Amino acid sequence: MKSITKAYRFFLLLAVVVLPAFSFAQVEEDSLDVEISDTATLSGAELLMPVFDSVRPKNSEQVDEILNFAKRFLGTPYHYAGSTPSGFDCSGFIYYVMGNFGVELTRSSYGLAEFGETVKLADIRPGDLMFFKGRNANSTKVGHVALVVEVTPDAIRFIHASTSRGVVIDNFKSSKYYIPRFIKAKRLDYGVSE
């Protein structure tokens, strides 16, 4: 009975301490190939993905289409009150992109902030909208909106129409400008079940 208890403790220790630490280690991509079926193999890097990747919800097909469409406008110049590919302001960009997919929204950033379900920053995912204060960091009002395109442990990347750079993608987690201006995030109902 003692040997079973020791073996159990060893495997418990292995499962709790060693395996999680190992799963985050960097592994050369081709170092471990495991055949999982006649048609697919997983590399060691895929087998050892962090837990974050295994529980992260997949984007719906419509969200992927929206994000790919939005990225077509990277580099489009900023234009105050603009809502066409010749020039966008922040809410005009979101309004134009979403309108292309039949999602009816209002035209202002503060109006957009009233749509959808509020989500915690920790639960944010691609397709969500992020709302920020405008230039005045002391304001309490929404003055800017962006569309989340990618979420990883190190980044929340969003696409938006910046007044100085036009349509660009920025990383919220490394932004000294946007972090103190963040107000809230919202998830729109795109009419698809997840």
| Structure tokens given for 53 | 């990747």
Per-residue pLDDT band for 54 (boundaries 50, 70, 90) equals: very low
Domain(s) labelled CATH 3.90.1720.10 in the chain stretch across 61-187
Which residues in the chain belong to E strands, given as ranges? 33-35, 41-43, 83-84, 87-88, 117-119, 129-133, 142-152, 155-162, 166-171, 182-187
Q: Which range is least confidently modeled, 8-17, 75-84, 114-123, 177-186? A: 8-17
Query: How many degrees, rounded to 5, is the angle at CA 194 between CA 149 and CA 130?
Result: 30
**What pTM did the predictor assign?**
0.70
Position 50 pLDDT exceeds 50: no
Q: Which range is least confidently modeled, 9-13, 47-51, 77-81? A: 47-51
pLDDT digits (tens, 9 = 90+) for 74-98: 999 999 999 999 999 999 999 999 9
Look up the CATH architecture of domain 61-187. Alpha-Beta Complex (3.90)
3-class DSSP state of 88: strand
- What's at 55, amino acid-wise? V
